[in-house]
Amino acid sequence: MSDVRVTIQRDSEREERVVTTGTTAAELFPGERTIVAARVGGELKDLAYELRDGETVEPVEISSEDGLNILRHSTAHVMAQAVQELHPEAKLGIGPPVKDGFYYDFDVEKPFTPEDLKAIEKRMQEIQKRGQKFSRRVVSDEDAREELADEPYKLELIGIKGSASSDDGADVEVGGGELTIYDNLDPKTGELCWKDLCRGPHLPTTRFIPAFKLMRNAAAYWRGSEKNPMLQRIYGTAWPTKDELKAHLEFLEEAAKRDHRKLGNELDLFSFPDEIGPGLAVFHPKGGVIRRAMEDYSRRRHEEEGYEFVYSPHATKGKLFEKSGHLDWYADGMYPPMQLDDGVDYYLKPMNCPMHNLIFDARGRSYRELPLRLFEFGTVYRYEKSGVVHGLTRSRGFTQDDAHIYCTREQMAEELDRTLTFVLNLLRDYGLTDFYLELSTKDPEKFVGSDDAWEEATETLRQVAEKQGLPLVPDPGGAAFYGPKISVQARDAIGRTWQMSTIQLDFNLPERFDLEYTGPDGSKQRPVMIHRALFGSIERFFAVLLEHYAGAFPVWLAPVQAVGIPIGDTHIPYLQEFAAKARKQGLRVDVDASSDRMQKKIRNQQKSKVPFMIIAGDEDMANGAVSFRYRDGSQENGIPVDEAIAKIAKAVEDRVQV
């Protein structure tokens, strides 16, 4: 046996070690059960990998991003084995790890029932306890086809070896240069228990799976295409400890309570009528009040910041989107054309920027007019597949708070800095305060413009972002082809991250539209163009705030800011006078004049998440006062009417939560 020299890399620490031929990665880390794989020469490997001379080995902890993916991928295999043991007729699709969990697709005659999932989970626990070994072996295409002859979907994957996409999860099976099969082996006899086509890597044994749970099942098209067969997908989650699994399930329970689709129905805010179609919402009166308050405040702040409001139509000739390039790049996401005016194609607009460019170009522009900040609440339409439509957060028709800024190159840095500061301050006004920034840079294979222009723009964005003092996360190659961008990522009340605002430089559209302004020396010059969507869309931001506040909006956004609760019917007129006086000051105040008993009225308003309840009885009427009841059940008595109205108005003005 000859010596093998390897380097163990742990963060910044390096250790040189001499081992013998045949030594595995696992032998470098004896007794360290939190290490589940190794990164060798930058490539993830099973711990059973035999080391070669000169290699650098990094341990992969189960709690790391790579470790979690391996844990969840291995758990998906265990689930697939359990399914085929209980349902031998099931054909295997794909089973990748995903955020916080995993899934596996199966072709079965009937959808899985809740009872089926319980049985599958029980069988998984049995397999986990057996401690089956995950064993990798390389196979030829011919051998793989022979071994998996009864698995038609695996046969299809073998045909795309090396070119599989991560979009549909196929790369976890055949994304490498060679085909491999993972065998699940009995730890005592070495007999084959189950096998699957897979790139790996995997955990050493099933006993390395500490905690898991199956969550739900759903229908899914094979590889995400509506042209392919419909399969049954089972989702699950797996974690390094039982405590982490418990915490995750509690998080999901809280998130379910906050689901904007659920709250939207319970609070009578919006709906998605079947008669209109998927992804197209109608806002009910209460939802309309919230939306108008959001838009009115945004409009006022934009005007203070020097933006000019514009309007553009919902449809336009297709030639405009040919000029902008949207028909080349985004045709699949657009609604089909309408043929009007003797065969001319018209499209519902997917974006507002081409029309804003026409406004800029409607007359000659001078450098003295720049920066020109155009803003629109522009409704756009994008044909999302019905399977990905999700309430207000992923819809087919939505209104963007869309701005396009035209400035000189000399103004670019100051304008970007001003824009990012404005964006963050406005989001804070709506109650989001925990941010980090993401800088998306050039994809070397797909960009327009010069390298120098990209470098200058990227460095300017970096300096602008760093000036905010927020964490800055790089997104290499994540920029659109026409320019780098900053994305504002916000965390909500339960720690979820939402992409909010984007600030995007564009080197493409000013060229396509031949936009020009007259410089100080009389020459024609090309403006710098900045795209900026602060909320992303009004609908999506509505959903984010609804979930962030769990429906209990701050007073200024609440659809009803206070409700009068009479102790008896004789007190209704007194509270109606109070409400009328408050409404004259622009406050949204109602009175519950129903026949319900007082305590039921209070419970109803608590469910409606009204900020204030104004209670009145005989003593209050005699003293010209009311009692204040808050969301938390606390109460203040004997507050004079004018003072009570001023109290509500102050809460609105200060945009406070109560």
- Exactly one of 161, 213, 404, 609 is catalytic; which is it? 404
Catalytic residue among 400, 504, 561, 605: 400
Residue 9 bears catalytic tag: no
Structure tokens at 318: 């297709």
Q: CA–CA separation, 430 vs 249, rounded Å? A: 29
Which residue, 42, 77, 76, is CA-closest to 60?
A: 42
Which one from 39, 213, 531, 629 is the annotated catalytic residue?
A: 531
Catalytic residue among 46, 105, 168, 402: 402
Residue with tokens 């606390």: 634
From the list 161, 373, 382, 601, the catalytic residue is: 382
353 is catalytic: yes
In whole angstroms, what is the distance from residue 480 CA to residue 469 CA?
25
Question: Three-class SS of residue 529?
Answer: strand
Three-state DSSP class for residue 83: helix
Is residue 615 within 8 A of residue 626, CB to CB? The reply is yes
Cis status, amide bond into 573, omega within 30 of 0: no
3-state secondary structure (DSSP) of residue 421: helix
Tell me, rounded to whole angstroms, the distance of Cα 9 from its chain centroid: 34
- Going by C-alpha positions, the residue among 497, 500, 498, 501 that lies closest to residue 530 is 501
**Is 81 an active-site residue?**
no
Distance CA 269, CA 289 (A): 9
Determine which one of 199, 302, 353, 396 is catalytic.
353
Between CA 596 and CA 49 the distance in angstroms is 72
> DSSP code of 652?
H
Task: Write the CA distances from 535 to 263, 293, 326, 392, 538, integer angstroms.
Answer: 20, 14, 22, 13, 6
- Find out whether 388 and 356 touch, Cβ atoms under 8 Å: no
CA-CA distance, 640 to 646, in Å (whole number)? 10
Alpha-carbon distance 338 to 437, whole Å? 40
Structure tokens at 194: 């189950």
The per-residue DSSP string of 154-200 comes to HHHHHTTTT---TTTTTHHHH-SSSEEEEEEE-TTT--EEEEEE---
- Residues sharing a CB contact under 8 Å with residue 625, sequence separation 6 or more, in sequence order: 619, 637, 638, 639, 640, 641, 644
Task: Enter the tokens of residue 517.
Answer: 């302004």
Is position 193 annotated as part of the catalytic site?
A: no
Known catalytic residue at 531: yes
Of the listed 286, 291, 349, 485, which one is catalytic?
Answer: 485
d(CA 376, CA 359): 12
In angstroms, rounded to a whole number, what is the distance separating the alpha carbons of residues 491 and 99? 16
315-338: buried (b, 16+ CB within 10 Å) or exposed (e) per residue? Answer: ebebebbebbbbbeeeeeebeebe
Q: For residue 626, what are its two tokens?
A: 């009311």
Please, which residues have CB within 8 angstroms of residue 502's CB and are 6 or more apart in sequence?
Answer: 485, 486, 487, 488, 531, 532, 533, 536
Task: Say if residues 21 and 52 touch (Cβ distance below 8 Å).
Answer: no
644: CB partners within 8 A, 6+ apart: 578, 614, 625, 626, 628
- Catalytic positions, please? 353, 382, 400, 402, 404, 485, 531
